[in-house]
Structure 1
């Protein structure tokens, strides 16, 4: 759909890794994914010598019938792959969107570095009319991904994501919770605009609290979800109420150290000013 971008889920990645472990080497194949908006067409091509091995990853951008960019993309390893390779055929492969409303489409090339939990990132290409060249930025999503939505109905897309700095911060990955993050791309920069969406933050905080409650029923101490919940409460300007609920909820023997560590972490990550 035009108004939504995928959210990278760990279940997809886990399934991909499971398949990799049970798949024999295949003959090298060349693959291409494409996207287009108006007179801008983008294409990522790559070779797969073996399953979950990627080489010669190239990006080509054609603008008004002219190839404006054609370059090999850097890879951290041979398992660094276009995320399109993990998606079904019905998923959008290579988004081309006017992200900042200047009537010039940006190209969003998404990649996954491989591994059980990490990492995904986006290369966002912007056309500079003065130099007539494309420039790019790289934005890290960590273990998660994003959904591309027009949240404020102004015709421009936001990146709805999560704060991946909370992964492993207070507990194991599987028991970690994440505050909401919403990003906006403007003239070559990603800007955190999460606080502009208090209703979404409120709903997200409520979901985290429900997840915490369920985790407690299953025997987890819930520290990972309480931490993310409190961060959401800071985004809402309700930190006093958040601290009261967290302190009432967490009664284990390490509570004093946990609360001190949590306060320090929230300050380091910018939630507590």
Structure 2
């Protein structure tokens, strides 16, 4: 975990979720947290294939009537540069999904996307109920590779026909960047907590970026993941308070670029309905060239661009 996550995760996240039998983490980028998953079994089979000295690993994860089988074929080198990933989802013994129907790099066979390290306490494949309908969803995390990016989360939800008969699984993909994601039990049901990936590299480097909190709720296979951050403004206020305490460190320091920090702080302010007071602070900083070490005009241009972007990204509360 880099950027904001490494500096203030403990303050923002509050107490770690207590281990339960129904919720599980998806993945945190470089400091992963785990919650045990009920009815999860891991079967590991390692074998050497005759083609290109590749290694094939097959694992099985179960939850209720759902069984997920993942087979990874990678070159016999460390670390593997490319992987062949095949995933199947069976429900009550009937196969309803295969990775032949992939989206993007998530199940693109021999691609740059890797399956993160698999441990019994922190698997990249999780079966858990996200929407409280007693029907488990399948969560899969992958890593695109490279030093600076990125974790990708896929949520598979069961599809049914008009008669209610299961017909398959629909895949919903969200980029979680450096922060990764974790399932958290909050009021109103479990949510997937991550950071807004759009803020990474938008105004600053990854290390200097502070992507704001993003909470997503699974609303069924038809709607997929919907934004639920506005339902938990107490967490947004807590995060903004943490960022606010860091402002003097940037304001009174020389050669410090505050664009990444201010973008995350401003995003939280806009979501809380504090656009006018937030803009007043930003414009004051710009007039004094305290955002980054350049001209007043460029400082003011940053404020205008940030304001337009936050409005376009719908950070203002809906009326």
Common fold: TM-score over 0.5: yes
User: Secondary structure of 2:193's partner?
Assistant: strand
Tell me the residue number matched to 2:25: 5
User: Secondary structure of 1:52's partner?
Assistant: coil
1:194-209 to 2 correspondences below 5 Å:
194-209=229-244
Tell me the residue number matched to 1:52: 80
The Cα RMSD (Å) is 2.6
Question: Relative to structure 1, is the Cα distance of residues 272 and 68 closer, same or farther in structure 2, using a 3 angstrom cutoff?
Answer: closer
Residues 108-164 of structure 1: CA deviation (Å, up to 9, x unaligned): 111111122222222221222335322222222234321111111x4x320111111
Structure 2 residue runs without a partner (length 5+): 1-18, 33-51, 290-295
Larger RCO (CA within 8 A; separation ≥ 6):
2
Question: Relative to structure 1, is the Cα distance of residues 76 and 258 closer, same or farther in structure 2, using a 3 angstrom cutoff?
Answer: farther
Q: Alignment length, in residue pairs?
A: 256
Tell me the residue number matched to 1:261: 305
User: Secondary structure of 1:263's partner?
Assistant: helix
2:257 to 221, 225, 228: 221
Counterpart Cα distance in 2 of 1:205 and 1:160: 16
Tell me the residue number matched to 2:36: none
* 8 Å Cα contact 2:27-2:124 kept in structure 1: no
* 8 Å Cα contact 1:110-1:123 kept in structure 2: yes
1:65 to 86, 93, 101: 93
Residues 1:102 and 2:133 aligned together: yes
Tell me the residue number matched to 1:119: 150
Residues 1:78 and 2:83 aligned together: no
Question: Relative to structure 1, is the Cα distance of residues 191 and 118 closer, same or farther in structure 2, using a 3 angstrom cutoff?
Answer: same
Residues 139-193 of structure 1: CA deviation (Å, up to 9, x unaligned): 22234321111111x4x32011111111122222221111111111111221111
Tell me the residue number matched to 1:235: 271
Question: Relative to structure 1, is the Cα distance of residues 201 and 207 closer, same or farther in structure 2, using a 3 angstrom cutoff?
Answer: same
Residues 1:92 and 2:123 aligned together: yes
Counterpart Cα distance in 1 of 2:139 and 2:214: 18
User: Secondary structure of 1:146's partner?
Assistant: strand
Tell me the residue number matched to 2:42: none
Counterpart Cα distance in 2 of 1:161 and 1:117: 17
Tell me the residue number matched to 2:216: 183
**TM-score normalised by the chain length of structure 2:** 0.71
**TM-score normalised by the chain length of structure 1:** 0.82
